[in-house]
Amino acid sequence: MTLPQLPTLWAMQPEALAALADTLSQDAEGRAARPRQEAQEALTYTVEDGLAVIPVQGALSKHGLELWGLRLLTSMRGIAAMLTSAAADPTVRAILLDVDSPGGTVDGIEALHGAVRQAAAGKPLYAWADGLMASAAYWMACGARRIGAPATAQVGSIGVISMHREYSRALENGGVRYTVLAAGRYKAAGNPVEPLSDEMRAYLQSGIDAVYELFLSAVEQGRGVSRDKALSMADGKIFIAGEALRAGLVDRVCSREEFINDIRRDMSMSLAELRAQNPDLEQELQAELEKARAEGAASARAQAADSERETLLALADVVLGPSADTLKAVVRAGVTPEQLKALRPLFAPKAASRSTAESDPARDRALEALAAAAAAPLSTAPEAVAEPAAKDDYMALVKEDMRVSGRTRGQAMAEVAREHPEAHALWLECAQKEKK
């Protein structure tokens, strides 16, 4: 692998990019004689007392790069996978990006920055510049809640770079001539065997400027600064930690231990501190709680009404038999007692048969039974401790059936009435006597 096969756009320190290119060129020339190294360990994070530490080390690229067991480029997708896993890990309460990187490719950095933002939306996320946090590494980390660095750390180098190597003079001196054939005016722009014209330079620069604009926007949003402030931070300079603090690139210059202690204090913030720092939060939470209580009470009332209705309909089914179908249809249609009372004259029996209709003993018994059922206490919850039910105690049998089967009260009453008709008849008789 040689440099022309690498991505053309980088958010990386120029000297680090040049060193990487030289390393790859030397490896390509001497790879046959180089012994194979042991494979690198898979990317993973550690968790201690609820803090997940995600390592971000070395130059970065979308897929990473390993040659002969050596990791030359760290996978951005591997880092994003660790972020996703830590955000979903129930043992993790906060996340720390432990960064020591000169940056990396432009390809893949937007997706990694998005993974950082998504993880930070669910859990507090911090970043530590462990020696070097440059270019794409800063692009990734600028959305952290707080960025810390030791006094000797280097932070910044915010910008975009592309290296163009041109070998036309060397090839000519060596007696080699290349002819580039391409369809499309800019198809061969930046090729290494032809001098770079002003037109092709402007074309390549336009792409660099577009990526730089994305970088600036990420810094603006992540650090909460204006465009002018972002431009002052993103001029390509690399800052020592103290300068980075004054420029607004980091939030704290301290030891690693002090920074982690700050994070742990955030994790264990007391309720009093939370109230002091967020005076409106308690009122919002109280409002949410009251809303939840009101909704719960309304739901409980609706469930109680449904339970009562089903109890009465089940009893009507037992007492009235097929005649209960009309009652069920009326109730389930949502007709209220007041509406029924208003409609009653339309369904009143004719004068000739009124005395007979009003003295119907079967109807009177059914109405009395329904009235007794409506007066009885309703509960859909089984008794915590149930005594063995007597065979002639209808309501005790109902409670026992609810406890064993999980049926509602109305369902249990109907079931027990079918299985124990004698107990049911005795209960009806007692209910009618109490009514009189």
pLDDT in tens, 200-214: 888 888 888 898 899
Output the CA torsion sign for 333, 337, 341, 347. positive
Torsion, Cα 78 84 85 86, to 10 degrees, reads 110
Chain mean pLDDT for the chain: 76
| Higher-confidence position of 240 and 39 | 240
At 284 the pLDDT is 64
At 368 the pLDDT is 58
d(CA 149, CA 130): 7
- Is the pLDDT at 334 greater than 80? The verdict is no
Task: Return the minimum-mean-pLDDT range out of 241-255, 341-355, 399-413.
Answer: 341-355
Q: Which residues of 177-202 are buried (b: 16+ CB within 10 A; e: fewer)?
A: eeeeeeeeeeeebbbebbeeeeebee
Query: Reduced to 3 states, what is the DSSP secondary structure of residue 68?
Result: coil
Domains of the chain: residue spans and CATH: 3-183+193-268 (3.90.226.10), 282-435 (no CATH)
| Spatial contact of 1 and 30, defined as CB atoms under 8 Å apart | no
At 385 the pLDDT is 42
pLDDT tens column, 60-114: 989 888 766 677 889 999 999 999 999 999 999 999 999 999 999 898 999 999 9
Bridge partners of residue 314, in order along the sequence? none
The token duo for 7 is 């991505």
Pairing outcome for strands 154-156 and 238-240: antiparallel
413-421: average pLDDT: 79
d(CA 309, CA 211): 67
Percent of the chain at pLDDT > 70 equals 63
Pairing outcome for strands 10-12 and 65-67: unpaired
pLDDT band at 435 (very low <50, low <70, confident <90, very high): low
d(CA 98, CA 126): 9
At 246 the pLDDT is 95
Max avg pLDDT among 15-24, 36-45, 213-222: 213-222
pLDDT band at 425 (very low <50, low <70, confident <90, very high): confident
At 268 the pLDDT is 78
155-177: average pLDDT: 81
Query: Reduced to 3 states, what is the DSSP secondary structure of residue 12?
Result: strand
| Higher-confidence position of 133 and 184 | 133
d(CA 359, CA 415): 30
d(CA 431, CA 81): 69
| Spatial contact of 72 and 101, defined as CB atoms under 8 Å apart | no
- Is the pLDDT at 353 greater than 60? The verdict is no
The CA R_g of the chain, rounded to the nearest whole Å, is 39
315-325: average pLDDT: 62
| Higher-confidence position of 409 and 215 | 215
At 381 the pLDDT is 41
- Is the pLDDT at 300 greater than 90? The verdict is no
pLDDT tens column, 95-106: 999 999 999 989
- Is the pLDDT at 53 greater than 50? The verdict is yes
Helix ranges restricted to H, 135-240: 136-141, 168-173, 198-223, 227-233
